[in-house]
Amino acid sequence: MTATIAVLGTGNVGTALATALARAGRTVTAGSRDPRRRAGSWTAPVPLSGLAAAAERADVVINATPGVESVDLLRPLAPQLAGSVLVDVANAVEQGPDGFATALRHPGSSLAEELQRALPHTHVVKTLNTVGPAAAMAAPGTFTTPPSAFLSGDDEGAKHVVATVLGDLGWRPDQVIDLGDLATARVTEAFVLLVRPLVQALGPVPFALSVAH
């Protein structure tokens, strides 16, 4: 597959994914709300542009923007994202003073579903939001137990595209589990509420869900 990928968001997640995909041989661009300001600290080996410009040139777009802002940031990009596959790796949560999630921002729904409502002509697929920190998303082989990556989406073709992208990041086919339609993202997005007790129990170690079967 030779699709061009845009990574929207230039924080830890965006940097890690853009770098890994470029090293895997993909054509990657990155989008920032303020590319001129961000350029001074941008370390990924990919070109940096505005959000709309990056999205317009891509077939596959990864949402690595802060989850609480994602819908507002991406809704204006509906023309550029029309027909594209949007890979949503973010979580939208309320945070406590310690920075950990205390509640979901979209109870009874999910960030992925809200993005799909805002972008009706885009194929939204949820994945990788149960993996942390950001570097671990592109390094599944570093876990002592093989982790699982989940797919939620309404379009089978789009999920196949995303599974291929996961392969570029090092995820084996047997580690990728298709959960079904986009509503199943509600389940994986709820996992973020477990992160604080996990860190309290284990310390700040990489984490992911793993399905034993």
Give the pair of three-digit tokens for residue 38: 């961000």
Residue 168: CATH number of its domain: 3.40.50.720
Full residue range of the structural domain in which residue 131 is found: 5-202
pTM reported for the whole predicted model: 0.96
Residue 209 forms part of a structural domain:
no
Instruction: Please count the structural domains in the chain.
Output: 1
Residue 208 forms part of a structural domain:
no
What distances in angstroms separate CA 106 from CA 11, 72, 77, 93, one per listed residue?
22, 14, 21, 8
Q: pLDDT (tens digit, 9 = 90+) per residue, 150-209? A: 999 999 999 999 999 999 999 999 999 999 999 999 999 999 999 999 999 999 889 999
Residue 213 forms part of a structural domain:
no
Q: What is the pLDDT of residue 2?
A: 59
Q: pLDDT (tens digit, 9 = 90+) per residue, 121-142? A: 999 999 999 999 999 999 999 9
